[in-house]
Structure 1
Amino acid sequence: MQKNLSMFVRRLTHVCSLKPYKETKWLMPNGNPIGVYVYNCVAGQRVPVILNDPHIATWYSCGPTVYDSAHIGHASCYVKLDIVQRILTSFFNIKLVTAMGITDIDDKIIKKAKETNSDFRTVAKQYEHEFWLDLSSLNIEKPLIITRVSDHMNTIESFVQKLVDSEMAYIAGDGSVYFDTDKFPAYGKLEKQQETVESNSTDKRNAMDFAVWKGEKPGEPSWQASWGKGRPGWHIECSAMVSKVFGSQIDFHAGGIDLRFPHHENEEAQSCAFHGTRQWANYWIHVGHLQMKGDTKMSKSLKNTISIPKLLESFSADTFRMACLTSHYRYSIEYSDKVMKTAEDNLKKFKFFLKDAFNYVNDNTKTIGYYNDKLLHELQTAEESILEALKHDFDTAKCVTTLLSLVSSANKLMKTDSSEYYPVPITLIAEFVTSILQKFGLKLHESSEEAVSDSLIDTLVEFRHTVRLNALSRKDKELLNACDIVRDKMKSIKVQINDSNKTPSWVFTK
């Protein structure tokens, strides 16, 4: 009773003595603007991307805590970050040095190890291996540098020791070490929080202080430090590993929107304190959640998750990426069959167009080709529009809309019953659409197994097309019905036929 009363008095005293939040502005870096503007939570608006070297940028993404399988909520975050990284490299010629941290020691990992009667290292390795397989199946590029917490204990210990030596952190009675937020007036710069209670420890000087080192607990893994045994706090891990790789400042630091506070807030505070700087990460990239119906976050605790292999049983990796592209990276997506069907339909529109364009350009019945100034002008406008959309906070949703509009115009020209033939603008548009979508990370081609069967499907589709045209001219309902049955059977084996009075086309579906 006395202990609880003492804790209450200490917290009440702290709350009453809280200083008003000191407004902290985003500091514009010195260097070279690259023409891109990105939203920054410290500034509360879009700010120009300025790099020390105009062609090199550093990027760190917070990786998983490997205690369980990843789900599509995680996947949407990593796909969107992969898209942004591809945009920087492919559209703006930035050499991006990417790193990701893997938390392979944590309360949840220890708990899973106890539940499965396994070593915590075995649990971590199993789920990390699975994580990389999942990312590969979604065509997410692997980071150039991977940092695991268990490999960087000396780095983390040195980081904590420097904070203690500079009196920015203090050692508590149980061997834990806490960051002293009272010593850092800019605390709350990412998200203006006045207080958060991280634990019930009475050893903390105030409620906002957070653990950079957790004192040893019986039966749990621990490492020896100069102040005693224990293991790192979650936030200190990223700060120490990033500082080891990238030094006192990083260009981009990325993760889900749920990491902005307290994780990224605490990273920024302790890193600025460690390096003696006012700004550690120049650009924070926060991705919106994948929501279930009713604005509910997908999470293991709510038991509403869908695994990545389960997703890929129903939809292709390209379809999932298309769904991510049609939503701005900072905004949430509501996962539903309707959303995925829309993404699938958009993907089919692009695939059908590319097949139709190939057939159109290679039409042997045509004798002379013409230019089409109107279509060429629309292509130029689309090129400019897409580049502008990407310059303004990587607006891929606008890019997809622009591409669909361009494809629609090209389709109208190809399907017009006219003797005029325009292979040049159609070829340029097809090449442009393919280039943009591939730069966004879409593969647009089928598996090797499907590729083997292409010629057989081509033969069947062409034969059906000939029969169907003959049936239409004779108004033979029985034969037309047979053609419909063939079309439906093909659809059941994931081949969708697009009928045309000229040349039919088909695509694989998922």
Structure 2
Amino acid sequence: MDIFLTNSRSRTKERFTPLDPANVRVYVCGPTVYDRAHLGNARPAIVFDVLSRLLRHVYGAEHVTYVRNFTDVDDKINARAAETGRDIAEITEETIGWYLDDMAAVGVAEPDHMPRATRYIAQMVVMIADLIAKGHAYEAEGHVLFAVESYADYGALSGRSLEDMIAGARVEVAPYKRNPMDFVLWKPSAAGLPGWDSPWGRGRPGWHIECSAMAQDLLGASFDIHGGGNDLMFPHHENEIAQSCCAHPEGSFAKVWLHNEMLQVEGRKMSKSLGNFFTVRDLLDQGIPGEVIRFVMLSTHYRKPMDWTAEKAEVAEKKLRRWRRLAKGVNPGAALHDVLAPLADDLNTSLVLDRLDSLARAIEMNQTDPTKARFAPSIEDFVATANLLGLLLPGTHDWSMQGFDLSGLAARLAEIRATAMETKDFSEVDRLKAALVAAGVEVRMSKAGVELVPGAGFDASALEGLE
């Protein structure tokens, strides 16, 4: 299966040809760990999890190396420690645990490597010293800065003009900079802040150098794919390219660059001031299953802005309840090539979901009325194809009954039954009972009352409007 990806650097869709098919290498920028992952943080995690699953499907699980980092040294973390009085290491350790739990809840598998910036300080110091030696960086007032003018291709990724880049760099203008676009590789640390000894004094790394050092150490001077949100394209990814290519001119750094678009909530930018800011944990605690969150995320192409709405979550939940009813107790077969074709075409997950839902309806029709049989794959192959999107995974918790309370329907049936005992008209009892049975609910009626028990084929969506 050929894979086509839209390379942000060339701005074209290209056939993906790995540098080494036996060792396909991917690096994705991970979170800065000072607080719960918000909904927007989940989008790149899910997008590149799907990419990883596709690459493993095509090239073999043992031939793909996927790296996603944790930024655990940052001014935001320092500010959170000062605000709470808590130890920095305690905050980062707790937040990493939260992130992994929340991403697991939305079906994101852990990458092969999850390096932490604080464990790669030595590699960063070596890279910075090398950049100084090669004339690409300079020391000034305890800082080390990358000299942007020393790299002729600076700006090629983002396509920004010199004026645009200078405007974007003005917030970092300092008297010790030779050029306002020069960016920090190393900065001094005051007492009470994290710091490490270096040739330039006690200090800590700038943000950009960490990814270059970790990618070089784990994937080499050249690797296949670098991913992240499009908000990172400038300056973060632009700066990564500059420092990496200057430090290791024998390599090309990342061959393909992939960027996902940003997320909105109900048509508006997510913001605490607008009251539409959600963490992943907020939604999980509201009873929205992680698989539903994943489905909604995948229903929009990764290069388009994604709008989270309550309506989309409701639609996703209904579809997944039906799919889970079909998949219950089924072992995955072989993924369907025709259904997966859009996934290999620049990760068109929304089209794959549409095709899967059409197949689910065909399977359901064949089960309910064989006389109207139409083409449908085996349930096993349907499940295997959904698995490649990180859905209906074997061994995952079946949430399809989660939060669904049958007590209201039980009370209503008991009330109708009591009336029927007096009028001798059991038509309404029979109608409601038939609807419950059709939805996979076992109806137990006795002198003691009415008990409703979800069965193996329980489909909560079929009960809508019965109460």
What CA distance in whole angstroms lies between the structure 1 residues aligned with 2:362 and 2:400? 29
Aligned to 2:458: 506
Count of residues in Structure 1 that have an aligned counterpart in Structure 2: 425
Q: In 2 relative to 1, CA 452–445 (structure 1 residues): closer, same or farther, beyond 3 Å?
A: farther
Matches of residues 76-91 of structure 1 in structure 2 within 5 Å?
A: 76-91=43-58
* Segment drifting more, 62-71 vs 91-100: 91-100
Q: 1:147 maps to what in 2?
A: 115
* CA distance in structure 1 between the aligned counterparts of 2:274 and 2:429, rounded to whole angstroms: 53
Partner of 1:346: 319
Aligned residue among 359, 362, 370 for 1:409: 362
Q: Which of 249, 252, 260 is the matching residue for 2:225?
A: 252
Indicate how the Cα distance of structure 1 residues 92 and 475 shifts in structure 2: closer, same or farther if over 3 A, else same.
farther
- Aligned partners of 2:36 and 2:281 also within 8 Å: no
| 2:73 is the counterpart of 1:101 | no
In the superposition, relative to structure 1, how do residues 241 and 446 fare at CA in structure 2: closer, same or farther (>3 Å)?
A: closer
Q: Is 1:63 paired with 2:30? A: yes
Report the alpha carbon displacement of residue 442 of structure 1 after superposing the two structures with TM.
1.5
- 1:12-66 CA-partner distances (Å, limit 9, x unpaired): xxxxxxxxxxxxxxxxxxxxxx721101011101112112322321111211111
Over 3 Å counting, the alpha-carbon distance change for 1:416 and 1:237 in structure 2 is same
* Local SS of the residue matching 2:54: helix
Structure 1 residue 312 corresponds to structure 2 residue 284: yes
Q: How does 1:111-510 map to 2 (within 5 A)?
A: 111-172=79-140, 174-193=141-160, 194=162, 195=165, 196-197=168-169, 198-277=171-250, 279-296=252-269, 298=270, 304-313=276-285, 314-354=287-327, 383-416=336-369, 418=371, 428-443=377-392, 476-480=426-430, 482-483=432-433, 505-507=457-459
1:363-418 deviation digits (Å, cap 9, x = unpaired): xxxxxxxxxxxxxxxxx9x9443242122112111111112222333434444373
Structure-1 separation of matches of 2:34 and 2:106: 21
CA–CA distance in 2 between the matches of 1:130 and 1:254? 22
Structure 1 unaligned segments of length 5 or more: list them. 1-33, 359-379, 499-503
Query: How much does 1:440 deviate?
Result: 1.5
TM-aligned CA deviation for residue 238 of structure 1: 0.7
CA 1:445–1:93: 2 relative to 1, 3 Å: closer
1:184 Cα deviation from its structure 2 partner: 0.7
Displacement after TM superposition at 1:450 (Å): 7.9
**Equivalent AA in structure 2 for residue 506 of structure 1:** F
Q: Retained in 2: the 8 A contact 1:348–1:507?
A: yes
- Shift of the alpha carbon at 1:286? 1.4
- The structural deviation recorded for 1:237 is 0.7
Q: Which residue of 2 aligns with 1:46?
A: 13
In 1, the alpha carbon distance for the partners of 2:315 and 2:109 equals 25
Q: What whole-Å deviation, never above 9, does each CA across 1:296-328 have from its counterpart, x for those lacking one? A: 1x3568764222222123221221121122221
Question: What SS does structure 2 have at the residue aligned with 1:225?
Answer: coil
Q: For residues 296 and 136 of structure 2, what CA distance do their matches in structure 1 show?
A: 45
Q: Distance in 2 between matches of 1:84 and 1:448?
A: 23
Q: Distance in 2 between the 1:166 and 1:303 partners?
A: 50
Unpaired stretches in structure 2, ≥5 consecutive residues: 443-451, 462-467
**CA 1:496/1:190 → structure 2, altered by over 3 Å: closer, same or farther?**
farther
Contact 1:496 1:507 in 2 (8 A): no
Relative to 1, partners in 2 of residues 1:234 and 1:415: Cα closer, same or farther, differing over 3 Å? same
Q: Is the 8 A contact 1:101 1:147 kept in 2?
A: yes
The residue number in structure 1 matching 2:465 is none
TM-score (norm 1): 0.74
The letter of the residue matching 1:50 is: T
Query: What is the deviation of 1:211?
Result: 0.8
Aligned counterpart, 1:366: none
Q: Identity of aligned pairs, percent?
A: 29
Deviation of the 1:190 alpha carbon: 1.1
Is the Cα contact below 8 Å between 2:34 and 2:92 reproduced in 1?
yes
- SS of the residue corresponding to residue 115 of structure 2 reads strand
CA RMSD between the two structures: 3.6
In structure 2, C-alpha distance between the alignment counterparts of 1:128 and 1:303, rounded to whole Å: 25
